[in-house]
Structure 1
Amino acid sequence: MSTPIRPRRNFYGRLKGKTLKQSQRGYLDEDLGPLSPGPVDWAANPDRTPLDLDAMFGGRPTWLEIGFGGGEHMVHQAASHPDVGIIGCEPYINGVAMLLGKIRRAGVDNVRVHPGDVRDMFDVLPEGAIDRAFLLYPDPWPKARHHRRRFVTPEHLKPLHRVLRPGAIFRVATDIEDYVRQTLEQVPQHGFEWLAEGPSDWRTPWSDWISTRYEQKALREGRTPHYLTFKRI
């Protein structure tokens, strides 16, 4: 069997911000390796061998958070749902360091962290392996010429559909109205059903929601959060 050819993928966005604190560098050095979901990057897994999620989480359902920001939602979900395993993907290394600190303080052990592009994770997740996915306050890319960089495009939605099991839930939170428009336009075209029955369904946070720092910033600046729930069909 020949080794798959690595696709050409442009990445847009920040990989690193301000200089990391000494404690954050310690989290990366000491905790990131043990919390790795396995060989995800092409250099470590050129054959794109699928991850063994049963071995990773002991047969528990697996959730996926796409771009976890500072990690507060991911840790909250892990603590609230110890019966599931959660994989988080985030290429912004400062956010990864923040998450690792929160994991250490919370003492949760049902998380794995990929400090990179979720598209590489899609390559090595088995088909139908994910029971729930989260896309929370993604980069809005507000300029019209940059809308193709948003997550809610075929390049991301097709592999997301593949790795979600039938009936799995996909949650999207955003404060950008045009992102809502594109989400409602694109996501149903790629095998998802929007579950809203009335305005309260996208205006009211989910029952297990924790407001993130990005949401608090949006509220301070007068923008309205939207909570969109889809089902993989």
Structure 2
Amino acid sequence: MTNDKAPSGAPWRNFYGRRKGKGLRDSQKEYLDKDLLALSPGAVDWDVNPERKPLDLKGLFGGRPVWLEIGFGGGEHMVHQAAQNPDVGIIGCEPYINGVAMLLGKIRKAGVENVAIHPGDVRDMFDVLPDGSIDRAFLLYPDPWPKKRHHRRRFVTPEHLEPLSRVLTPGAIFRVATDIPDYVRQTLEEVPGQGFEWLAEGPGDWCNPWDDWLSTRYEQKALREDRVPHYLTFRKR
């Protein structure tokens, strides 16, 4: 666990997880040095925006609908969605800097321009997103925190779901993918209580991936280890 408190007076927040893994390749260091700043919304930075003024999404994406990916991992799904939906702006939040570097490399290769990156906790992004400003959100293979005493660290808790619900537009879609049965249980218990309805009508609606799905590295690992993916779709009431 690390304690996130910026010198400028950002709120104290527990952060559980890794910020950095093994050493970065020279090419990844180059991506971080040359590309990240231009793709990072400055309003998320406490030193730049200590008053937490709302992020100017129209200035960021030219008035396009905005989607949010929470913990984009290696970035393959985010880049896929950006390439398939050029009329949408996509914000990705990921505190693991190695994943950020991987995403930046994929952005260069794909040439997508409708993306923004916050290399940190999504709660910082929630601080500056205007109410009802996000049209779709993705939570794909989040950290399962399998031990019962750690379940409060999962994303599907009121600490995260309440601000997520606030920033989503009425009718917005929230997708959750996980291979952990107990995470499915907690998701189905917690998410509807924050103003969402589960859209499943039959087993195929949570057993089969979405039509525009791109399997991630985390899903491929789950399949290799004989774990079963679940695909949950919610709509903000």
Q: TM-score, normalised to structure 1's length?
A: 0.97
Report the Cα distance in structure 1 between the residues aligned to 2:12 and 2:189, rounded to whole angstroms.
26
| Displacement over 4 Å in runs of 4+ | none
Counterpart secondary structure, 1:182? helix
Match 1:221 to one of 225, 228, 234: 225
In structure 2, the partner of 1:25 is: 29
> What amino acid maps onto 1:45 in structure 2?
N
Distance (Å, rounded) in 2 between the aligned partners of 1:67 and 1:114:
10
CA distance in 2, matches of 1:83, 1:184: 31
Can you list the C-alpha shifts for 1:93-145, whole angstroms capped at 9, x where unaligned?
00000000000000000000000000000000000000000000000000000
Flag structure 2 segments of 5+ consecutive residues without an equivalent.
1-8
Q: Could you report, residue by residue, the CA deviation over 1:33-74 in whole angstroms, capped at 9, with x for unpaired residues?
A: 111122203232110011110111111000000000000000
Contact 1:37–1:87 under 8 Å retained in 2: no
Which residue in the other structure is 1:104 paired with?
108
Residue correspondence of structure 1 range 108-119 to structure 2 within 5 A: 108-119=112-123
Equivalent residues in 2 for 1:1-233, closer than 5 Å = 6-233=10-237
How far did 1:9 drift? 1.0
The separation in 1 between residues aligned to 2:146 and 2:107, in whole angstroms, is 32
Aligned residue pairs: how many? 230
For the 8 Å contact 1:65–1:74, the answer to whether it is kept is yes
State whether residues 43 and 54 of structure 2, in contact with CA within 8 Å, keep that contact through their aligned partners in structure 1.
Answer: no
Taking only aligned residues, the RMSD between alpha carbons, in angstroms, comes to: 1.1
TM-score with structure 2 setting the length: 0.95
SS in 1 for 2:37: coil
CA distance in structure 2 between the partners assigned to 1:150 and 1:41 by the alignment = 24
